[in-house]
Structure 1
């Protein structure tokens, strides 16, 4: 519809320009006569002929043509403005048509978008449920971790206590072993000293008996209380024992 109006305005615009050009050409060729009724004798025109007859009518038409010319010029400008306005409207309509087409395309894709949104919502719900499950598992894991930490702390404390007890026990054992060793050493020293004293007594008694044996040829018998002890006379010496005895006496 706008295209038809534009064409009609263009045609009117061309016709107005053509009419204006024609009127301008005609007025440029015709010179309006003056309203003076006196004839110029030099022209050779008889005085009875009024050459100014119809000048007022011609002036009227000339004014009408001038007005028409100005109106046509104004119409041309108006038509030009209307044409520009129609061009702008056409561009806007084309732009809006493109926007409408894009909108229709988008609207045509709404069912697909809705289906995708529903699928995304379901996925989101699944992910949310999975997140809740993961949070519960993490909470359980934290509880287990805390319990293991407590157990590890208890075990560590027990181990430290056991180590401390073992260290104390080992120190006590070492102390007792040292005391026992010192005690045994003292007992051994006492026993050794006792043995040395007894050995000295036995040596003295043996030397006395040997001196008496050498002088008298016998040994006095000593009555001892307790179980019977064999005397030297009652002891039978073998050759080996005799040699040992002689070595002992020589020493």
Structure 2
């Protein structure tokens, strides 16, 4: 038997209803109320269990994040504690790098100077080579010119000597002929011509050296002695 929305949890016998006017359904609404409360509580418990599971997951995630953050904080703390020494090491590295840069710059300057010296030496060697070639060329030209001049000079000297020899031979012949005439004149007249007279070529006869044949002169004196 149902009263309103109430469903009894157990069956009550109706055999004594006519005899006893007691309301056996008394308290049904209270039981129904508590049953609804129990169902609500049960539903709430289930919802709370689900929310508890969700909250446990969130707590687990949050714990993981907190643990990760804690590790990061520890790492950052260690890094911060080493930051001063790292900065000092970094400054030392910068100083060494600066020193190395200055050394490299100095070496580069030395290298540039060495390159300039090598190029200058190479250029000097090239100039010396060209100068030697020029000197050799000029020397060869000088020797060629010298040989040509010597040959020309020797030819001129030879020509001059030949012409002089020919001239002397002609003069010698002329003076020998004049000497023979003087000898003939001396044989016939007993007198010698004046030796101060000028020769046809403008020289004094006494200045002329004659190549006299000694045999002819001896014969002349012998003939003169015999005649006396």
TM over 0.5: yes
**Which 4+ runs in 1 deviate beyond 4 A?**
176-187
Deviates more, 1:122-131 or 1:166-175: 166-175
Q: Which residue number corresponds to residue 231 of structure 1?
A: 215
Give the root-mean-square deviation of aligned CA atoms.
Answer: 4.1
> Is 1:158 paired with 2:131?
yes
| Separation (CA, whole Å) in 2 of partners of 1:155 and 1:64 | 122
Count of residues in Structure 1 that have an aligned counterpart in Structure 2:
176
- What is the TM-score with the length of structure 1 in the denominator? 0.54
Q: Which residue number corresponds to residue 13 of structure 1?
A: none
| Separation (CA, whole Å) in 1 of partners of 2:8 and 2:28 | 11
Q: How does 1:78-157 map to 2 (within 5 A)?
A: 78-157=51-130
| Separation (CA, whole Å) in 2 of partners of 1:140 and 1:67 | 99
Which runs of 5 or more residues in structure 1 are unaligned?
A: 1-29, 195-222, 235-251
| Separation (CA, whole Å) in 1 of partners of 2:141 and 2:83 | 83
Cα displacement string for residues 59-99 of structure 1 (whole angstroms, at most 9, x for unaligned residues): 11111111111111111111111111100000001111111
Q: Which residue number corresponds to residue 141 of structure 2?
A: 168
- What is the TM-score with the length of structure 2 in the denominator? 0.59
| Separation (CA, whole Å) in 2 of partners of 1:45 and 1:181 | 188
Q: How does 1:1-251 map to 2 (within 5 A)?
A: 32-33=9-10, 40=14, 44-47=15-18, 48=20, 49-176=22-149, 226-231=210-215
| Separation (CA, whole Å) in 1 of partners of 2:211 and 2:57 | 161
Deviation at 1:164, TM superposition (A): 1.4
| Separation (CA, whole Å) in 1 of partners of 2:100 and 2:155 | 79
Which runs of 5 or more residues in structure 2 are unaligned?
A: 1-6, 167-182, 185-204, 219-228
Deviation at 1:50, TM superposition (A): 3.6
Deviation at 1:182, TM superposition (A): 7.2
